[in-house]
Amino acid sequence: MTEAIRVPTERGVLTIKRDQLMSLHTTFRIGGPADFLTRAGSEPELLAAIDWAERHDLPVTVIGGGSNLLVGDRGIRGLVILARTPGSALDGHVDLAVEGERARLTVPAQAPISWLGHFTASRGWAGLEWAAGLPGVVGGAVVNNAGAHGGEMADHLTSVELLDLAERRVTRWSREQLQARYRYTVLKFEPRPRRWVVLRATFELPPGEREELTARAASYAQWRRQAQPSGACAGSVFTNPPGTYAGYLIEQAGLKGRQVGGVRVSELHGNFFINTGNATAADVRALIALIQEEVFRRFGIELVPEIEEIGEA
């Protein structure tokens, strides 16, 4: 393995590694090698990594927590930036201001979405407690308009700050510009490598009863541990069709436990695929196609994948 590249930054040194398997950096544990890979836990590190890639004429792929992703078996060309940081490292990077009866909260894109749910609930601000227990980070959750238990990111999001890689400038988008709807924003369906990178998000939150909110956040996190499988999976594979649930349709079609290669439909929840240890992206695509075909044959409903495919097949 070639020695790691060390890039000086304002606050230290950024380490860039060659030929890193993406299967080690996604929750699905699937994916070939990235040409180059680095971790950026702060905005200065993110900008330093992007500058380095620009100097070497490399495309940039930014991912957050690595959930909701299927990386191709041939990996990703250029530089992959893992933009994530633990909640314990966010002191001084979160701006919470009370304005009358509401709170304005600005958080970095690298913040864990589960931490955000617990953080806001513990301070008596409502609207994001549904996120407790979810994988991923704020930036990815904004791009995907993630949600659960009747809530979603767009409900209380007021704006996002984006880095425009084409013009190398920071711009602010309103919630309306994102055109957010169920598991959709215009950012999500921009071809990769994307032009825009989420830097931070701002929410406006109503007050709530602190004890009630923290209890609700804890119950959501506990529910996920019991109702959804653990292990190597990417989260929900399909979006829910109008008026029903993808997992229910898959279960009714008798497809729980169905396996292709190294990937299997979870026996616990039909809308989760489990990597049994040696799954490939090709296996996942084949199982998606099988599920779609059988559900459509049985119910006349076309299931739409929620997970995003990136990299080379």
Domain extent listing, the chain: 5-83, 87-227, 246-310
Residue 162's φ and ψ, nearest 5 degrees, are -120, 145
| Residue 1 pLDDT | 47
Residue 241's φ and ψ, nearest 5 degrees, are -65, 160
Sheet with 196-205, edge to edge strand ranges: 95-99, 102-108, 196-205, 157-164, 169-174
Low-confidence ranges of the chain (pLDDT < 50): 1
pLDDT tens track for 62-80: 999 899 999 999 999 999 9
CB 23 within 8 A of CB 29: yes
| Residue 2 pLDDT | 62
Residue pointed to by tokens 């055109």? 179
Residue 81 tokens, joined: 């930036």
At the topology level, CATH places domain 5-83 in 3.30.43
Cross-strand pairs, 60: 79
What's the CA gap between 159 and 97, in Å, rounded?
Answer: 15
Given the residues 45, 129, 152, 306, select the one marked as catalytic: 306
306 is catalytic: yes
What's the CA gap between 163 and 168, in Å, rounded?
Answer: 7
| Residue 10 pLDDT | 75
The amino acid that residue 292 corresponds to is Q
Percent of the chain, pLDDT > 90?
Answer: 84
Counting every residue written for the chain, the total comes to 313
* CATH number belonging to the domain at 246-310, selected among 3.40.50.1820, 3.90.78.10, 3.30.70.100, 3.40.50.970: 3.90.78.10
Given the residues 236, 264, 266, 285, select the one marked as catalytic: 236
102 is catalytic: no
pLDDT tens track for 9-48: 877 889 999 999 999 999 999 999 999 999 998 888 999 9
pLDDT tens track for 189-201: 888 888 999 999 9
| Residue 69 pLDDT | 95
* Contacts with 274 (C-beta within 8 Å, 6 or more apart), sequence order: 229, 231, 232, 233, 263, 264, 265, 266
| Residue 57 pLDDT | 95
Given the residues 84, 183, 216, 264, select the one marked as catalytic: 183
Assigned CATH for 87-227: 3.30.465.10
* Contacts with 57 (C-beta within 8 Å, 6 or more apart), sequence order: none
84 is catalytic: no
| Residue 13 pLDDT | 87
